Amino acid sequence: MEFLYASEVLVNGLMAGVMYALVALGFVLIYKASGVFNYAQGVMALFAAMTLVGIMEGRVPFAHLINAMFGVHVSHFGWTVPAIFGIALTALIMVGLAIAVEKLVLKHLVGQEPIILFMATIGLAWFLEGLGDVMWGADVKVLDVGLPQGISDGIEAATNDWLGYGFFIDKLDIWATVIAAALVAALVGFSQYTKQGRAMRAVADDHQAALSVGISLRFIWIMVWSIAGFVALVAGIMWGTKSGVQFSLSLIALKALPVLMLGGFTSIPGAIVGGLIIGMGEKLFEYFIGPMVGGATENWFAYVLALLFLVFRPQGLFGERIIERV
């Protein structure tokens, strides 16, 4: 029975890892194409989820500000929008955000040190955090795009018949796994088989060389930030469905950091494998060792595991090896 319990923990850890990987993917995309560690990725997920709820519920953006300035009481337009259109509209807004980021921030920082670009994304995170609250309010929002939640009865019954113990698998986690797999396949396909994808890889390899063959760096940046915005939207939907759309959603970025350290900042498969290892590792550690040390080991263990990998492989499992000759 103990083995079955541990197996259940392992499977659930892998599923949790997929949720972490969804967040990590956004970081990887931007880092790979522009060498920028986008501190705002978590806040982008929050902003995207807030915008999606706002659109779906027909909320008036900046209602609070409008009410305070003009002494009126507006909150909703009085209509609702189906999830699929809401997602499409939010994706468009994330493209708009990518264009704004490129035009207002990145364009002015071309050629600057990576740390300057990193600092700019910290500023962007603060800005987006405030903008989201002012636009849509700081209340906890319910996000329902039709994804099922709760124990999968089929899996529970099947494992019970087969093994004598019904496994718990959350239906939302199954959906997250399917969506993450589709997303990764689409991203890999895009970067391997499309002109823009190849251009993105060229920029990732060498900015100067890519520019010299006529690739527009600015277009690539807008494209990459748009894709990262879409990935943030997907992560926001998954995490927002799980526990409501609220500020804490932006903190899921903290869960992605050990995944990136382990998988490497430049590898899409690395983000997935890293997520799986972290998810599985932290859950098994909590199961076997947690009770002996008072529990709540997951956050701590994820970073320890990532640090251990760093000692032996500083570039992460799938990261590019950096060789600098003096």
> Considering the complex, what minimum distance in angstroms separates the CB of residue 67 from other proteins?
6
Asked if residue 182 binds other proteins (CB under 8 A), the reply is: no
Asked if residue 59 binds other proteins (CB under 8 A), the reply is: no
Q: What angle do CA 99, 42, 181 make, to 5 degrees?
A: 90
Of the two residues 189 and 295, which places its CB atom closer to other proteins in the complex? 295
> Considering the complex, what minimum distance in angstroms separates the CB of residue 48 from other proteins?
17
Of the two residues 83 and 202, which places its CB atom closer to other proteins in the complex? 83
Q: Is 150 left (phi over 0), alpha (psi -120 to 50) or beta?
A: left
Asked if residue 298 binds other proteins (CB under 8 A), the reply is: yes
Q: Give the span between the Cα atoms of 152 and 181, in whole angstroms.
A: 19
Q: Return the structure tokens found at 168.
A: 């718990």
Of the two residues 73 and 195, which places its CB atom closer to other proteins in the complex? 73
Asked if residue 142 binds other proteins (CB under 8 A), the reply is: yes
Identify which range of 66-74, 97-105, 109-117, 265-273 contacts other proteins by CB under 8 A. 66-74
Asked if residue 92 binds other proteins (CB under 8 A), the reply is: no
Q: Give the span between the Cα atoms of 241 and 280, in whole angstroms.
A: 22
Asked if residue 299 binds other proteins (CB under 8 A), the reply is: yes
Q: 10 Å Cβ neighbour count for 184?
A: 17
Q: Give the span between the Cα atoms of 207 and 109, in whole angstroms.
A: 14
Asked if residue 68 binds other proteins (CB under 8 A), the reply is: yes
Asked if residue 127 binds other proteins (CB under 8 A), the reply is: no
Residues in the chain, overall count: 326
Of the two residues 196 and 246, which places its CB atom closer to other proteins in the complex? 246
Encoded one letter per residue, x for contact with other proteins by CB under 8 A and - for no contact, window 223-242 reads ----------------x--x
Asked if residue 80 binds other proteins (CB under 8 A), the reply is: no
Residue 272 makes CB contacts below 8 A (sequence gap 6+) with 18, 21, 25, 180, 184, 263
> Considering the complex, what minimum distance in angstroms separates the CB of residue 172 from other proteins?
8
- Contact at 8 Å (CB) between 186 and 172? no
> Considering the complex, what minimum distance in angstroms separates the CB of residue 62 from other proteins?
13
Asked if residue 296 binds other proteins (CB under 8 A), the reply is: yes
Identify which range of 200-208, 270-278, 281-289, 310-318 contacts other proteins by CB under 8 A. 281-289
Identify which range of 24-32, 107-115, 147-155, 176-184 contacts other proteins by CB under 8 A. 147-155
CA distances from 169 to 165, 174, 241, 289 (A): 13, 8, 16, 22
* Residue 296, CA atoms < 13 Å, CB-side half-sphere: 1
Choosing from 35, 58, 197, 244, the residue that interacts with other proteins (CB under 8 A) is: 244
Nearest alpha carbon to residue 64 among 138, 142, 140 = 138
Of the two residues 216 and 248, which places its CB atom closer to other proteins in the complex? 248
Q: Coil, strand or helix: which one is 145?
A: coil
CA distances from 7 to 10, 59, 165, 169, 287 (A): 5, 44, 11, 12, 11
Chain contacts with other proteins (rule: CB under 8 A): 5, 8-9, 12-13, 16, 64, 67-68, 71, 73, 75, 129, 133, 138-142, 144, 149-151, 168, 170, 239, 242-244, 246-249, 251-252, 255, 283, 286-287, 290, 294-296, 298-300
